[in-house]
A and B are shown apart, each in its own frame.
Chain A
């Protein structure tokens, strides 16, 4: 069981954003850039928070942005965005947020393949501040325990 590939272009480190919408927007843009989602998914992730509130802030400093499966989800994906200055989502305990995970799944059940792995990583309470402080995307990947190669160069490595 492992996390989705999390290519480097699905990671954005040290962004400056004005509010939670822009933060979720960045997580959505990273999903789209990495080929996981198409136009519309970002707006649906924002819509979930507008409808149900800031429950997506599931731990101090961490938001798990997500929406239901839909035609705008091309393949399951994960993105990671860290913020230079934290933003407030409106959660009574876990604000402010400086790490946003974007999650896209193609069926309701698919996520269980990697959700246990996600829980393993984040059950360690030091991981959120460590991610927030990560200087670059490669550090984010290694903090999450993702060792698989990423990108076209990595594919060449694999085929050797």
Chain B
């Protein structure tokens, strides 16, 4: 059974039909890329999975999204628990204007209330190690996170998320502000992380999707046109529109 399954998922922003009948299964311990031109609904789809669209007024959703078999739109779903399980990395690295340490322990504190200092230290060390920042930053954990480089900031944001111990990492164009070297290193990190997480990445960058993902979905105007193994999508797309997009005939 896939980790995340959508059944007939539709979404409206007021009168705008942003997602149309999306049916897809996202496997655990794999990286699934969602590609498509701007405004095709790929970020919207990503934001369905941790219900960030709830923040926007006038959003209406139909269909089901099952995570581990339970519907996240169920009245009993607790948003806090859902977001503890399904975390998000944003397009722009967005650490809080706090120290490196405080950034990482924020989520830990939110979910566990008062936590002993040594537990926090441990969480900071583990999460920084898992994003390969520990050696660089261990001597300046009390320094403001905003002074880090863009790449370090984005890694820190991933570490902040990992500290909450989610199952699913949603990444919304996580490399779009990074240079090619930094992008390559973040992609490397994603490959390491997929052993422990279900990763869904939205990207503009087809090469990136081809490089890192196991499965790929191509979206156009709110529809999931094609979904399958990445090699299949890129080498033998079944749909003409997918082929047009990956061969560069859309913007």
Q: Is A bound to B? A: no
